[in-house]
């Protein structure tokens, strides 16, 4: 099939399925209110009670006054403290609200703030509708602290609970991670809780400012959710919501293909995939491809929708042109995944068409966008500027030919974090997959204001939308796209990823990156995978796989090693670069040593 015929057929079938998807009855994963007691109650001023719930959560309050109480009380909700009190004028979209309620005896009272017009907006020309929480809950907002004025007598823990909204099926024991770096452990803990706390809406939303799903946010959220919990429904419901309410950035559309592919790898469920496959074709950007296969951007797309990174100041000076390297990297990555999905559904001819399109386009991508003089990708045709993004996205997507990878990795390792918390997911993936684990971990824990260490040191309990307020003055302090380490650390430090759909086969490829030990638990549909490794001085690991899962194993070579032993017996393994590759898969429980 010629490319233009392929494009036209793809467009027609995609349009039909998209219309059907838009009329689907969209549900939301079950979410429930959980009662939480305060961790600390104090009196910062006369007639003022400060209540600390320990961490931020989306919710409201239930108060139970003492018998005979009456009068009016004022309740302040806050995400941020200032000089020991709730900050009543916090920056950006950091939350503060106040509510006044009447007390009448010991009758329980639900205290909720007023409705926020921005994050409940249903009709707008600028963006899709906000996701609404159940009306019977009352308004929920993210807060950690409460100040109460006018309370009669002593406020005791039994008088107040926070009604916090979380996914009903959430399992706090589903995952675990610990390493020899305590800061890394704190980062993982922050990111895991961030995913839990932001399940309050039943679908993945972009924080409290808008409460709208966005495709890139949703994919990053999905990856992390899979690595710390057993639920799959929330990602699926978010996918269906976004097929009905797509957003505007160019590169966000291919993330829908990424989401469907991630679901298939997680579950192996082709029935769910089959009803959504046709509509996915419209998300590949194929309709914008020119005769050479490369995606074109008109003036409006270059000005507005080709996003590269967000906020705009995080683009590392990116030079926008008609043929944009980042846009085309996403196009190729989506087409590669579409070929896999087509093959999974038995659509061999379509898979072959996608494969052929990828091969043809990738040749032109490399010929026209790779600068042989510098060994780097330029931002687009017509410029010699090479940004961070033009190089780490192709690296993360496996688009860089083997002979060019080390040069790009060396260049990325020579620089600091020149991208947002969103794009850092892909920067770190590219480094971890290509021998740059030490640099990846250094960026995670860097003592600067552009790292997850900065978030931890700030005292926040949910990840931010940006590295710091100065990089995005209106940022949310409750944004799950900032929680990438929740998936990066188990995927790369522990080294556990699915190789076959439904986790029938995994790969275990630890990347120590200077760490001396790590252990953890990764949830899969077949049961948890447990990995514990230590370097003392050579590499030793204990791996427990659930029934029905085998694993390909790739281990660090280390110094002066000459073989691999499984349960004390030498096994067939060959060296490839800095890795020992075991010839046979493992299963059940094994101890592996490099000697």
Distance of CA 573 to the CA centre of its chain: 34
Say if CB 147 and CB 86 are below 8 A apart: yes
pLDDT over 80 (residue 255): yes
Tens of pLDDT along 266-280? 999 999 999 999 999
Predicted pLDDT at 437: 98
Q: pLDDT band for 558, please (50, 70, 90 cuts).
A: confident
The residues that bridge with 58 in the sheet, in sequence order, are 142
Same fold flag, 3-27+170-493 and 496-594: no
Please give the model's pTM, rounded to 2 decimal places: 0.94
User: What tokens does 5 get?
Assistant: 């015929």
Give the gyration radius of the chain's Cα atoms. 25
The terminus-to-terminus CA distance of the chain in angstroms comes to 53
Q: pLDDT band for 4, please (50, 70, 90 cuts).
A: very low
Least-confidence region, from 93-107, 325-339, 372-386, 435-449: 93-107
Task: Calculate ∠ Cα 574-555-192, nearest 5°.
Answer: 155
pLDDT over 60 (residue 352): yes
Percent helix, percent strand, percent coil in the chain, to nearest 5: 35, 25, 40
Tens of pLDDT along 561-572? 899 999 999 999
Say if CB 133 and CB 200 are below 8 A apart: yes
If you write DSSP's letter for every residue of 333-378 in order, what string do you get? HHHHHHHHHHHHTT-HHHHHHHHHHHHHHHHHHHHHHEETTTTEE-
User: What tokens does 211 get?
Assistant: 């409460």
pLDDT over 50 (residue 8): no
Residue 405 backbone phi and psi in degrees, to 5: -65, -45
Residue 62 backbone phi and psi in degrees, to 5: -125, 125
Say if CB 543 and CB 523 are below 8 A apart: no
Architecture of the domain whose range is 496-594: Sandwich (2.60)
d(CA 492, CA 510): 6
Top-level class of domain 3-27+170-493:
mainly alpha
Task: Calculate ∠ Cα 592-402-432, nearest 5°.
Answer: 50
Residue 103 backbone phi and psi in degrees, to 5: -105, 135
pLDDT over 50 (residue 58): yes
Give percent of the chain with pLDDT exceeding 70.
95
3-state secondary structure of 70: strand
Domain borders along the chain are: 3-27+170-493, 31-167, 496-594
Predicted pLDDT at 21: 37
3-state secondary structure 474-497: CCCCCCHHHCCHHHHHHHHHCCEE
In 370-468, alpha helices (H): 389-396, 402-413, 421-433, 437-444, 452-458
Q: pLDDT band for 20, please (50, 70, 90 cuts).
A: very low
Question: Which residue, 128, 131, 150, 151, is CA-closest to 140?
Answer: 131
d(CA 251, CA 374): 26
pLDDT over 70 (residue 11): no
Contacts (Cβ under 8 Å, ≥6 apart) of 7: 286, 287, 289
d(CA 126, CA 590): 55
Say if CB 444 and CB 452 are below 8 A apart: yes
User: What tokens does 307 get?
Assistant: 């996003």
Q: pLDDT band for 18, please (50, 70, 90 cuts).
A: very low
Q: pLDDT band for 106, please (50, 70, 90 cuts).
A: confident
**Do strands 505-508 and 550-556 pair parallel, antiparallel, or not at all (unpaired)?**
parallel
If you average pLDDT over residues 219-245, what whole number do you get? 98
Question: Which residue, 397, 393, 424, 391, is CA-closest to 410?
Answer: 391
If you write DSSP's letter for every residue of 71-138 in order, what string do you get? EEEEEEEES-EETTEE-SS-STT--EEEEEEEEETT--EEE--PPPSGGG----SSSPPPPPPPGGG-
Say if CB 552 and CB 583 are below 8 A apart: no
The single residue listed with the structure tokens 């949310």 is 476
Please report the beta strands in 375-477, taking only residues with DSSP state E, as ranges in sequence order.
376-377
pLDDT over 80 (residue 151): yes
Interhelix angle 233-244/3-22, rounded to 10 degrees, is: 110
Q: pLDDT band for 519, please (50, 70, 90 cuts).
A: very high
Say if CB 308 and CB 259 are below 8 A apart: no
Residue 565 backbone phi and psi in degrees, to 5: -125, 130
Question: Which residue, 116, 119, 145, 134, is CA-closest to 32?
Answer: 134
Predicted pLDDT at 159: 96
Say if CB 377 and CB 325 are below 8 A apart: yes
The 8-class DSSP code of residue 302 comes to I
pLDDT over 80 (residue 559): no
Predicted pLDDT at 25: 37
The fourth-level CATH superfamily of domain 31-167 is Galactose-binding domain-like (2.60.120.260)
Tens of pLDDT along 171-206? 999 999 999 999 999 999 999 999 999 999 999 999
Predicted pLDDT at 66: 86
Interhelix angle 254-267/215-228, rounded to 10 degrees, is: 20
* Averaged pLDDT score across all residues of the chain: 94
The neighbour count for residue 571, using CB atoms within 10 Å, is 17
Question: Which residue, 493, 497, 576, is CA-closest to 541?
Answer: 493
């Amino acid at each position: 099939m010629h490319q233009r015929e392929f494009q036209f057929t793809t467009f027609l079938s995609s349009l039909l399925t998209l219309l059907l998807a838009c009329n689907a009855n969209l549900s939301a994963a079950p979410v429930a209110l959980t009662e939480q007691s305060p961790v600390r109650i104090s009196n910062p001023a006369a007639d003022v009670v400060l209540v600390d719930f320990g961490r931020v959560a989306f919710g409201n309050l239930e108060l139970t006054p003492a018998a005979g109480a009456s009068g009016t009380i004022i309740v302040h909700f806050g995400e941020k403290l200032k000089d020991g009190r709730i900050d009543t004028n916090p920056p950006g979209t950091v939350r503060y609200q106040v509510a006044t309620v009447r007390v009448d005896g010991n009758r329980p009272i639900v205290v909720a703030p007023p409705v926020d017009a921005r994050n409940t907006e249903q009709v707008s020309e600028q963006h899709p509708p906000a996701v609404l929480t159940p009306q019977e809950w009352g308004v929920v907002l993210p807060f950690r602290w409460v100040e109460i004025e006018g309370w009669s007598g002593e406020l005791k823990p039994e008088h107040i609970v926070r009604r916090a909204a979380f996914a009903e099926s959430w399992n706090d024991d589903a995952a675990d991670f610990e390493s020899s770096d305590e800061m890394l452990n704190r980062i993982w803990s922050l990111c895991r809780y961030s995913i839990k706390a932001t399940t309050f809406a039943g679908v993945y939303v972009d924080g409290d400012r808008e409460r709208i799903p966005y495709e890139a946010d949703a994919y990053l959220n999905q990856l992390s959710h899979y690595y710390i919990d057993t639920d799959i429904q929330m990602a699926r419901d978010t996918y269906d919501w976004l097929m009905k309410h797509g957003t505007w950035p160019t590169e966000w559309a291919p993330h829908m293909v990424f989401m469907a592919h991630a679901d298939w790898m997680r579950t192996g469920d082709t029935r769910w995939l089959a009803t959504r496959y046709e509509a996915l074709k419209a998300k590949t950007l194929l309709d914008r491809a020119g005769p050479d296969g490369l995606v074109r951007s008109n003036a409006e797309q270059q000005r507005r929708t080709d996003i590269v990174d967000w906020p705009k100041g995080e683009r590392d000076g990116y030079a926008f042109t008609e043929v944009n390297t980042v846009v085309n990297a996403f196009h190729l990555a989506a087409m590669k995944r579409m070929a896999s999905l087509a093959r999974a559904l038995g659509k061999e001819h379509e898979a072959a068409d996608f494969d052929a399109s990828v091969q043809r386009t990738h040749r032109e991508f490399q010929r026209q966008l790779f600068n042989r003089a510098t060994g780097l990708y330029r931002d687009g045709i017509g410029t010699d500027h090479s940004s961070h993004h033009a190089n780490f996205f192709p690296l993360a997507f496996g688009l860089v030919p083997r002979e060019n990878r080390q040069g790009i990795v060396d260049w990325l390792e020579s620089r600091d974090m020149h991208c947002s918390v969103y794009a850092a997911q892909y920067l770190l993936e590219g480094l971890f997959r290509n021998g740059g684990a030490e640099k990846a971990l250094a960026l995670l824990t860097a003592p600067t204001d552009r790292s997850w260490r900065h978030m931890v040191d700030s005292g926040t309990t949910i990840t931010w939308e940006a590295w710091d307020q100065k990089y995005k003055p209106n940022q949310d302090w409750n944004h799950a796209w900032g929680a990438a380490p929740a998936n990066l650390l188990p995927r790369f430090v522990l080294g556990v990823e699915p190789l076959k759909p439904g986790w029938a086969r995994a790969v275990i490829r630890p990347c120590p990156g200077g760490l001396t030990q790590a252990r953890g638990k990764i949830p899969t549909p077949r049961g948890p995978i447990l990995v514990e490794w230590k370097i003392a001085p050579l590499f030793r690991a204990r791996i427990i796989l659930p029934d029905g899962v085998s694993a390909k194993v790739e281990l660090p070579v280390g110094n002066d090693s000459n073989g691999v032993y499984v349960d004390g017996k030498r096994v067939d393994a060959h060296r490839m670069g800095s890795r020992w590759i075991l010839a046979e898969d493992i299963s059940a429980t094994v101890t592996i040593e490099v000697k």
